[in-house]
Amino acid sequence: MSDRSSKTETPPDASKPQMRDEDQATIGPKLGAVGRRTFLGGAGALAASMPFAGAPEALAKPAAEDDGVLMIKKQGSFFVGGRRVQAPGTLDPYTTNANASDDGQIYYYDRLYAQFQIPPDARRYPLVLIHGGGGTGRVWETTPDGRQGFQSIFLRRGYGVYIVDFPRRGRASLPSFNGPFGELAGVPIVANRTNRSGAQLAFVRWRLGLEYPKFFPNSKFPKSSEALEQFFSHLVPTVDDPVVVVDGLVALVEKIGPCIVVTHSQSVPFGWQMAIRSSNVKGIIAFEGGSYFPDGEQPVAIPTYAGTASTPGTSIPKGDFKKLTKIPIRMFYGDGISKPSPFPGVDSMRLNLHYSKEMAKTVNRYKGDMSVVHLPKIGIEGNTHFVYSDTNNVKIADLMSEYFQEMGLDIGSGSA
């Protein structure tokens, strides 16, 4: 990780919570030339679909592959990144209200949570499964209707699997203390407003159907009422800071070593940043998300459904973009985004698809290796925004396994 530059210190105000610079530095290197601007347009790209042969027999496991014992050699969890802050005053732990007092207490927050499972004789590169907006790592564990998620599917295929919860979500915890949300001793530590998607918006936005709860006829999403309840229950309130999230993700891959990163939606631009900042990212699989372009090389903007100009991806320094040409990248898009849509959330994925294709062209023009698979174009229809939760998630895993082989990432534990 890069060193912090020195700076002149000013005396702290003892009446306010104190955050140490060295604790801020534990999150990871700053974004440097890219900075926060790389996240502002992070919704915009699409990519050229490419045909491919069926997965090799050894890789294409049947849907019943969950029969039998799941072998795990090692499992656990830990936190990385984050900050430490101390409230003013001195805590008296013997007072009756000590558990409601911030006085003098030290808090750790904005840390990224990671759980891991490693099978016997694991392949060289584990997978890091990164959730998208509004959810947590729970989406990779089990599908809404109780089938195996990518966690178990890829464990059975010999990959170690890491699943994260972003800072301020899930087991990483919301950054609040004793008193008003996000405040410590009257000082705002984080924003005091959260966002959360409800059932009606999530159903339409993520392309289960045009109106809650009426599914598209060809939808691959589990259709039982219990599955819907499970799906909507995983949606959590968010109070994100993308810079904090990326710092935590970079700290993770710096800790665990070489790996394959799997991103979805909101986290797709985070994956690009991880590859730019850490050479431990050896390949990326991305599901429906934003695109990056070198400064001065963004494509011509296409109109939204409403006729306004869209944002053609995010512009970053050319030197950073070239780092994305050093690893293989595959993107997947589901169904229902071929035409303009009056629903902004749906139309944004149509735009993403277009700009992802343009990003792939640009990466490959710089001698990189990126392709985009629009699933309906290869005969796989009905997939939603949550491709890995749909009823054909084993087929999607088969395509990923084929790509891992094609990209040279399915290296066995005993390989040199």
Arithmetic mean of pLDDT, 323-329: 99
Structural domain includes residue 99? no
Which residue from 258, 118, 107 is spatially nearest to 175, judged by alpha carbons?
Answer: 107
CA-CA distance, 260 to 408, in Å (whole number)?
A: 11
Q: Is the pLDDT assigned to residue 39 strictly greater than 60?
A: no
Q: Which helix (H) or strand (E) holds 322?
A: helix 318-323
Structural domain includes residue 224? yes
CA-CA distance, 321 to 45, in Å (whole number)?
A: 15
**Contact yes or no for 134/235 (Cβ under 8 A):** yes
Q: Which of 8-17, 86-95, 103-112, 355-364 has the highest mean pLDDT?
A: 355-364
Residue with the bigger pLDDT between 242 and 175: it is 242
**Contact yes or no for 384/390 (Cβ under 8 A):** yes
Query: What SS3 state is found at 255?
Result: helix
**What's the pLDDT at 96?**
66
CA-CA distance, 12 to 23, in Å (whole number)?
A: 15
Q: What percent of the chain has pLDDT over 90?
A: 76
Q: Which residues contact 117 (CB under 8 A, 6 or more apart)?
A: 72, 74, 75, 151, 155, 160, 161
Q: What is the pLDDT of residues 58-84, one digit of tens each?
A: 333 444 456 689 999 999 999 999 999
What distances in angstroms separate CA 169 from CA 26, 128, 173, 324, 407, one per listed residue?
19, 17, 5, 28, 33
Structural domain includes residue 52? yes
Strand segments, DSSP code E, in 17-137 are: 18-19, 74-80, 83-86, 106-109, 112-118, 127-129
Q: What is the pLDDT of residues 169-206, one digit of tens each?
A: 999 998 899 989 999 988 999 888 899 999 999 999 99
CA-CA distance, 255 to 273, in Å (whole number)?
A: 16
Structural domain includes residue 180? no
Token representation of residue 19: 């955050």
Q: What is the pLDDT of residues 42-65, one digit of tens each?
A: 433 333 333 323 333 333 344 445
Structural domain includes residue 7? no
Q: Is the pLDDT assigned to residue 28 strictly greater than 70?
A: no
Structural domain includes residue 20? no
Q: Which residues form the domain of 203?
A: 30-81+112-170+195-406
Our count of domains for the chain comes to: 1
Arithmetic mean of pLDDT, 337-361: 98
Q: What is the pLDDT of residues 350-404, one digit of tens each?
A: 999 999 999 999 999 999 999 999 999 999 999 999 999 999 999 999 999 999 9
**What's the pLDDT at 415?**
56
**What's the pLDDT at 51?**
30
Structural domain includes residue 55? yes
- CATH number of the CATH domain containing 230: 3.40.50.1820
CA-CA distance, 188 to 206, in Å (whole number)?
A: 33
Global pTM?
Answer: 0.85
Structural domain includes residue 11? no
